[in-house]
Amino acid sequence: MVLLIDEIDKADIEFPNDLLQELDRMEFHVYETGETIRAEKRPIIVITSNNEKELPDAFLRRCFFHYIEFPDRETMQAIVDVHFPNIAPKLVSEALEVFFDLRSAPGLKKKPSTSELVDWLKLLMADELAQEALYHRDPAKALPPMAGALVKNEQDTHLLERLAFMMRRQKNSGR
């Protein structure tokens, strides 16, 4: 048996320590149903974290840690191909260029993730004007079309606008 606990770092601060007791006893109580679930054999437990907050040392001592790098462009292309097998190659190429440029912007509070790229592509495919704007984009423009699917907070929006302003000034002073 395999138990998946996804994004444990988003749980209540006490959850990881509280979980230790259940994992040690190999059982947990479901309050909503009144059932107690007991494992007959010790399960394999996979716990994911986006590292949004520190996990307690007592919890981490009992874990085997494996870090997964963010997908490179080639891997991201394969992920997109699975989600959108018939997508226009030009759209994917341009979108990946913008996506990785955004991710590399210095000082972003929240870099766009794989799921945000997939959502953004879905929006771009539904809007021909957004596709055209992406194909003919000016790198000195603040944000790509439908940027709300990629940029998720006000600070990052302002940061990207400032970076674009600085690029325009550099471009204009270089004439």
Q: How many CB atoms sit inside 10 A of residue 117's CB?
A: 25
111 & 39 share domain:
no
Q: Show the tokens assigned to 79.
A: 């992920």
Claim to verify: residue 77 and residue 42 sit in the same structural domain: no
- The pLDDT score that the predictor gives to residue 146 is 86
Residue where a domain terminates, one of 11, 36, 60: 60
Which residue range forms the structural domain that includes residue 40? 2-60
Q: How many domains does the chain have?
A: 2
CA distance 13 to 27: 21
68 falls within a domain: no
Q: Does residue 120 fall inside a structural domain? A: yes
What distance in Å separates the CA atoms of residue 17 and residue 39, rounded to the nearest whole number? 20
6 has pLDDT over 80: yes
Q: pLDDT of 98-156, one tens digit each?
A: 999 899 988 888 999 999 999 999 999 988 877 788 887 766 666 888 888 999 899 98
Residues 163 and 79 occupy one common structural domain: yes
Residue 16 lies in a domain: yes
One domain, residues 115 and 45 = no
Amino acid of residue 20: L
**Mean pLDDT within 1-25:** 88
Give 51-78 pLDDT, tens digit per residue. 878 888 988 998 899 999 999 999 999 9
Q: Is the pLDDT score of 174 beyond 70?
A: no
Calpha distance 159→106 (Å, rounded):
9
54 and 87 together in one domain: no
